[in-house]
Amino acid sequence: MKQSNPDPYTDLAYSIHAVGARATPARMRALAALRHAAQPLSHADIEAELSAERMPLIDRVTLYRVLDWLTEVGLAHKVVDFHGVFRFSANTPDAKHTQHAHFRCTDCGRVTCLDEPVPALPHLPRGFRLARVELDIQGECADCVASH
Amino acid sequence: MKQSNPDPYTDLAYSIHAVGARATPARMRALAALRHAAQPLSHADIEAELSAERMPLIDRVTLYRVLDWLTEVGLAHKVVDFHGVFRFSANTPDAKHTQHAHFRCTDCGRVTCLDEPVPALPHLPRGFRLARVELDIQGECADCVASH
DNA sequence: CACTAAACGCAACTTGGTTGCATTTGATAT
DNA sequence: ATATCAAATGCAACCAAGTTGCGTTTAGTG
| Co-location of A40 and A82 in the same domain | yes
Which positions in chain A touch B143 (Cβ < 8 Å)? Answer: 127
Report the pLDDT averaged over residues B106-116: 84
Q: What is the pLDDT of residues A22-68, one digit of tens each?
A: 999 999 999 999 999 999 999 999 999 999 999 999 999 999 999 99
Of B133, B138, B142, which has the smallest distance from its Cβ to A132's Cβ? B138
B80 and B17 part of one domain:
yes
Strands A99-105 and A129-140: parallel
pLDDT for position A25? 97
Report yes or no on B18 lying in a domain. yes
Residues A16 and A82 in one domain: yes
Report the 10 Å Cβ neighbour count for B134: 19
Q: Are residues B55 and B78 in the same domain?
A: yes
Do B138 and A118 make contact, defined as CB atoms within 8 angstroms?
A: no
* Dihedral (CA of A119, A124, A127, A131) sign: negative
**Are A15 and A22 within 8 A, CB to CB?**
no
For A137, which of B83, B127, B130 is closest by C-beta distance? Answer: B130
Average confidence (pLDDT) over B111-133: 85
Q: Is 80 exceeded by the pLDDT of residue A96?
A: no
Give a yes or no: residue A4 inside a domain.
no
Structural domain includes residue A135: yes
DSSP A96-136: SS-EEEEEEETTT--EEEE-SPPS--PPPPTT-EEEEEEEE
Query: Of all nucleotides in the shown strands, which has a C1' nearest the CA of B22?
Result: C26
Q: What's the mean per-residue pLDDT of chain B? A: 88
Looking at the structure, do residues B78 and B134 belong to the same domain, yes or no?
Answer: no
Task: CATH number of the domain at A137, please.
Answer: 3.30.1490.190
pLDDT at residue A122 in the model: 84
CATH code of the domain in which A84 resides: 1.10.10.10
* Better pLDDT: A125 or B3: A125
Cβ density class B19-40: b for 16+ within 10 Å, e for less: eeeebeebbbbbbebbbebeeb
For residues B146 and B148, give the distance between their C-alpha atoms in angstroms, rounded to a whole number: 6
Torsion angles phi and psi, residue B57, rounded to 5: -70, 150
For chain A, the domain total comes to 2
Residues near chain C (nucleic strand), Cβ < 7 A?
A: A 21-22, 24-27, 56-59, 61-62, 65-66, 84; B 1-2, 13, 16-17, 22-25, 42-44, 60-61, 64-65, 68, 85-86
Q: How far is the CA of A66 from the C1' of C4 (A)?
A: 21
> For residue A74, what are the domain limits?
12-90
